[in-house]
Amino acid sequence: MRTFAAAAFAGLVAATPMSEVEYKFISYIAKYGKMYETREEYAYRLQQFAAVDAEIVRINASQSDSRHGHNMFSDMSRAEYKQRLGYIPSFANRTEEAQDVYVQATPDWTTGWNWANHGAVTPVKDQGQCGSCWTFSSTGALEGAWYIKSGQLLSFAEQELVDCVQLCFGCGGGNFFSSFHYWKTHFPMSEASYPYTAKNGACVYNQNDSYTNVQVTGSVQVTANNKSALQNAVYLTPVSVAIEADTMYFQTYTSGVLTDAAACGTNLDHAVLAVGYGQENGNDYFLIKNSWSADWGDNGYVKIGANASSGVCGVQMDPGYPTL
C-alpha cells in the first residue's frame, strides 16, 4: 500500500505550489523515512513540523551558544514528544543522605573530562516511544561504575528495570534511585539476556542468567545545586542526572552548549547520564548522554551549561550514582 508521503514524492500533490516550509517537510520525510497514510495525517504532521520550524528559526536567532535543528520529533505533537520523557522525582527510594563528593586534583573546566574517551560508556541507546529514560540513565551509571571497578564494559538490561522495579511505572516513568535500590537485592541482567521491547511486560528476572558478580551496595545522592559537587562526582564516575526536557530549546538541540536557563526550565521530567564536563567558548558544561539514539542532538549527546545554582535545565538538581 502506498502512503500519502510516497504519493507526494511521485508528484501527486504537486497541483498547487508548495511553500518553503513544505519543501523542508518533504526533505524531512525522506531523511527520516516518515510514512503517512492519509492526506489528513500529512496535513496534520506538516502543521506540527511548521510550528517546530518556526521555533528553530526563533531560537537560532536568539541564541549564540547552541544551534538547533530538526530531528525525528519534528512532526510530533507535544503530547507525543513528552511520551519520551519519564522522570518522576517524588517517590524515589533514597536510603542515603545527600553528600558532597570530593576528589583530589580534579581537572579544571578548560581541561575537561569525558568517560566516553576512557572506555566507561556504552554506545548511545534508544528508548523509543517508551517513557523509560530513567532505566537508561540507571544502566549507564552502573555500566560506568562497573567498568571503573573491573575494566569490563557490560551493557545492562533496561527492560529488567521496566518490568521489575515495583516502585516505578515502567514506560509510565520512574527514578534512577529506585533502580539503584532494586539492584541491592537483584543482580543486573544483560541486554542480550533481557532484550529491550520499549513496552511494559511481566517481570522475568532470572538470577541464573544475571551478572552475579556485579553487586550494588548502595547509592550516593550528590549534593544538589552544587556545581563543584557534581563536577567532582562526574570525575569519579558517570552520574545519573535529571533535567527538564519538555521545551523546544532542548528538543531541537544539535550542537554547542545550552546556556539559557530560562529557556530550559527546572521542572525535572527526563533522566539522562552525565559522562563528562568541559568548557566551550568560555561556557562550563556537563556532557550528557541521552537515550534517543545517535540521530538526536550531537550524535546522541548534549552539552548542558553548569552554573552556581541548579544548572541549566536543572542538571545539578538531583544527581546520583550506584556504589559497588
Q: Please give the positions annotated as active site.
A: 133, 270, 290
Q: Measured between alpha carbons, how far is 153 from 261 in angstroms, rounded to an integer?
A: 34
What 3-state class would DSSP assign to 24?
helix
Beta-carbon contacts of residue 205 (< 8 Å; ≥ 6 apart): 160, 163, 164, 186, 189, 194
Q: Count of CB atoms within 10 A of residue 128's CB?
A: 17
Alpha-carbon separation of residue 158 from 89, 140, 164, 171, 190 (angstroms): 19, 10, 10, 11, 9
Residue 252, φ and ψ in degrees, nearest 5 = -95, 5
Which residues 6+ apart lie within 8 Å of 137 measured at CB?
A: 176, 240, 241, 242, 271, 272, 273, 291
- What distance in Å separates the CA atoms of residue 46 and residue 24, rounded to the nearest whole number? 10
85 contacts 131 by C-beta, under 8 angstroms: yes
Is 273:288 a contact under the CB 8 Å cutoff? Answer: yes
H or E element that contains 280: strand 270-280
CB 305 within 8 A of CB 264: no
- Residue 167 sits at φ, ψ, to 5 deg, of -80, -5
